[in-house]
Chains A and B, each alone.
Chain A
Amino acid sequence: DAKTTQPPSMDCAEGRAANLPCNHSTISGNEYVYWYRQIHSQGPQYIIHGLKNNETNEMASLIITEDRKSSTLILPHATLRDTAVYYCIAGRGGGGADGLTFGKGTHLIIQP
Chain B
Amino acid sequence: DAGITQSPRYKITETGRQVTLMCHQTWSHSYMFWYRQDLGHGLRLIYYSAAADITDKGEVPDGYVVSRSKTENFPLTLESATRSQTSVYFCASSEMRGIYEQYFGPGTRLTVT
Encode A73-112 as 1/0 by CB contact (under 8 A) with B: 0000000000000000101111001111011100000000
Interface size in chain B (residues, C-beta < 8 A): 26
**Does B64 interact with chain A (Cβ within 8 Å)?**
no
Q: Closest CB of chain B to A33's CB: distance in Å?
A: 10
Report which of B44, B98, B106 forms a contact with A98, defined as CB distance below 8 A: B98
Give A72 to B55 CA distance when docked, in angstroms.
35
Known: A98-B31, A103-B42. A93 touches B104 (CB 8 A): no
Scoring A41, A44, A93, A99 by chain B CB atoms within 10 A of each residue's CB, the highest score goes to A99
Q: Which B residues touch A44, using CB under 8 A?
A: 43, 90, 92, 102, 104
Give A100 to B43 CA distance when docked, in angstroms.
8
By the criterion CB–CB under 8 Å, are A93 and B92 in contact? Answer: no
Interface residues on A, range: 20 to 34
Known: A42-B106, A43-B106, A43-B107. A91 touches B58 (CB 8 A): no
Q: Which residues 3-44 of A have a CB within 8 angstroms of B?
A: 32, 34, 41-44
Give A91 to B105 CA distance when docked, in angstroms.
22
Q: List 27 A-B contacts (CB under 8 A).
A: A32-B99, A32-B100, A42-B107, A43-B90, A43-B104, A44-B43, A44-B102, A46-B103, A49-B100, A89-B100, A91-B100, A93-B99, A94-B97, A94-B98, A97-B45, A98-B31, A98-B33, A98-B94, A98-B97, A99-B35, A99-B44, A99-B48, A100-B35, A100-B45, A100-B100, A102-B42, A103-B42
